[in-house]
């Protein structure tokens, strides 16, 4: 169905619920996959996609650290490990074809919704990823679902797509699911985890990633440069992700594949990482209390917890 046909019907609404996940991209993806009948749980989706193993930070530990990746490349690669093709429609604020891409995005979103396929999009109701699962062309609104749940908006104006202080358009259209070997994609995810932990992404010039991101985070606490909101928010996101990693690896260890014992050891070490990060979230709760980060004692203890998390994660990665 094109825009003309959709305008005649005016209203499309698909039942979609945002997944329970601090990583908004994967929470949105989980909601879309659930609507299509894919019942894999959060731990499996986070593990196979590689988001269970991601970590990024810059000297101020800004909240955008949680989405520090090369969207046009890394998102398709993550979804491919889940077995899905996808199309990412992206336009930065200085893209000379930005208006054209916005027009294409609106048309494609309506086509996908009319075909019964919700889509994932950036900054709908908040500066994170969410799901567009309906449209009312008569009212000029999209129906949306975000990490805020009932506390967030249920609709946004069509014109809000791709807007914001830094107007970035990013819409993700999931395609077909392909049958893949469970063991092969799991091992591909683990290879990604090791590469990410040990590598520097040249496209993310202002961010450190993987194990190096811990050092950047620790330095921000010692030097007092960490943003209170970003510090607390990143802690929640990455603590949840490492919990997913531990459970994902434990599940793989139980499948009887080769190196099951190695997977079990890695799972145990990621569990220790999770414990450290969860204790960190208790020290710096979210929503943040600025006084918590103002305390030199808290910063010192937080740095110590991150140092322990780094130790266990380095050992886990070496195990893998």
Mean pLDDT across 155-165: 91
pLDDT confidence of residue 10:
59
Flag whether pLDDT at 268 surpasses 50. Answer: yes
- Please check the confidence at residue 2 and state whether its pLDDT lies above 70: no
Shared domain for 186 and 171, answered yes or no, is no
Tell me if 271 is assigned to some domain. Answer: yes
- Say if residue 308's pLDDT is above 90: yes
pLDDT value of position 199: 85
Domain membership of residue 52 (yes or no) is no
The answer to whether residue 19 sits within a structural domain is: yes
pLDDT digits (tens, 9 = 90+) for 171-213: 999 999 999 999 999 999 999 999 999 987 777 778 999 999 9
- 144 and 192, same domain (yes or no): no
**pLDDT value at residue 149:** 85
pLDDT at 7: 46
What would the pLDDT profile of 65-105 be if each residue is shown by its tens digit? 999 999 999 999 999 999 999 999 999 999 999 999 999 99
- First CA to last CA distance, the chain: 47
pLDDT for res 3: 46
Say what the pLDDT of residue 278 is: 98
The confidence score (pLDDT) of residue 201 equals: 73
Mean pLDDT for the stretch of residues 36-51: 96
Q: 167 and 186: one domain? A: no
Look up residue 16 and give its DSSP letter.
-
Per-residue confidence band for 121, with pLDDT thresholds at 50, 70 and 90:
very high
Residue 133, domain member (yes or no): yes
Same domain, 135 and 266: no
Distance from C-alpha of 29 to C-alpha of 21, rounded to nearest angstrom: 10
Q: Which of 177, 198, 218 is a domain's end point?
A: 177
Residue 54 belongs to some domain of the structure: no
- For residue 52, what pLDDT is reported? 98
Distance CA 48, CA 77 (A): 11
How far is it, in rounded angstroms, from Cα 210 to Cα 219?
A: 15
pLDDT recorded at residue 54: 97
Asked if the model's pLDDT at residue 114 lies above 60, the reply is yes
212 and 127 assigned to the same domain: no
Same-domain check for residues 170 and 267: no
Whether residue 235 sits in one domain with residue 88: no
Asked whether residue 229 is domain-assigned, the answer is yes
> How does strand 119-122 pair with strand 129-136?
antiparallel
Q: Is the pLDDT of residue 124 over 80?
A: yes
Query: Quick one: 169 and 211 in the same domain?
Result: no
Q: Are residues 190 and 145 in the same domain?
A: no
Structure tokens at 140: 């000029």
Q: Give dist(CA 277, CA 235) in Å, integer.
A: 7
User: To the nearest whole number, what is the mean pLDDT of the chain?
Assistant: 93
pLDDT interval class at 13 (50, 70, 90): confident
CA distance 202 to 225: 23
| Closest listed residue to residue 41, CA positions, set 30, 50, 52 | 30
**Count of domains observed in the chain:** 2
Short-list 203, 227, 192, 198, CA closest to 214: 198
Retrieve residue 79's tokens: 């979804």
Residue 14 has pLDDT above 90, yes or no: no
pLDDT tens digits for range 270-298: 999 999 999 999 999 999 999 999 999 99
Give dist(CA 96, CA 119) in Å, integer: 24
Total number of residues shown for the chain: 320
- Shared domain for 116 and 20, answered yes or no, is yes
Residue 39: which pLDDT band, with cuts at 50, 70 and 90? very high
pLDDT at 234: 98
Question: What is the pLDDT, as a whole number, of residue 205?
Answer: 79
Are 162 and 275 within one domain? no
Whether residues 154 and 18 share a domain: the answer is yes
Q: What digits encode the pLDDT tens for the residues 218-265? A: 999 999 999 999 999 999 999 999 999 999 999 999 999 989 999 999
pLDDT over 70 (residue 164): yes
Per cent of the chain over pLDDT 70 is 97
Give 204-221 pLDDT, tens digit per residue: 778 999 999 999 999 999
238 φ, ψ to 5°? -80, -30
More confident residue, 298 or 4: 298
Among 147, 177, 207, the domain-final residue is 177
- Choosing from 177, 196, 224, the residue where a domain stops is 177
Q: Is residue 239 packed enough to be buried (19+ CB in 10 Å), middle (13-18) or exposed (0-12)? A: buried
| Residues spanned by the domain of 36 | 3-40+82-177
């Amino acid at each position: 169905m094109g825009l003309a046909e959709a305008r005649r019907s005016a209203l499309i609404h698909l039942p979609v619920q945002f997944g329970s996940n601090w990583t908004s991209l994967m929470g949105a993806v989980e909601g879309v996959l659930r609507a299509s009948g894919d019942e894999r749980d959060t731990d499996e989706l986070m593990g196979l996609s590689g988001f269970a193993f991601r970590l990024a930070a810059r000297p101020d530990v800004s909240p955008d650290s949680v989405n520090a990746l090369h969207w046009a490349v890394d998102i398709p690669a993550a979804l491919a490990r889940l077995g899905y093709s996808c199309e990412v429609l992206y336009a930065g604020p200085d893209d000379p074809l930005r208006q054209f891409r916005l027009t294409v995005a609106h048309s494609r979103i309506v086509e996908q919704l009319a075909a019964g396929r919700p889509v994932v999009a950036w900054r709908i109701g908040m500066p994170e990823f969410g799901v567009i699962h309906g449209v009312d062309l008569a009212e000029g609104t999209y129906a949306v679902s975000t990490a805020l749940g009932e506390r967030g908006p249920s609709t946004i104006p069509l014109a809000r797509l791709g807007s914001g202080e830094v107007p970035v358009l990013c819409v993700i259209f999931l395609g077909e699911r392909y049958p893949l070997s469970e063991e092969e994609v799991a091992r591909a995810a683990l290879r990604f985890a090791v590469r990410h932990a040990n590598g520097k992404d040249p496209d993310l010039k202002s961010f450190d990633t993987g194990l190096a991101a811990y050092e950047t985070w620790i330095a921000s606490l010692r030097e007092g440069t960490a943003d209170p909101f970003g510090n607390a928010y990143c802690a929640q996101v990455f603590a949840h992700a490492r919990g997913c990693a531990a459970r994902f690896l434990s599940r793989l260890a139980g499948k009887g594949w080769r190196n099951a014992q190695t997977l079990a050891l890695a799972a145990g070490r990621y569990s220790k990482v999770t414990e450290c990060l969860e204790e960190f979230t208790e020290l710096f709760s979210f929503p943040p209390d600025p006084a918590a980060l103002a305390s030199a004692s808290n910063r010192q203890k937080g740095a110590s917890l991150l140092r322990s998390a780094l130790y266990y994660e380095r050992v886990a990665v070496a195990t893998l």
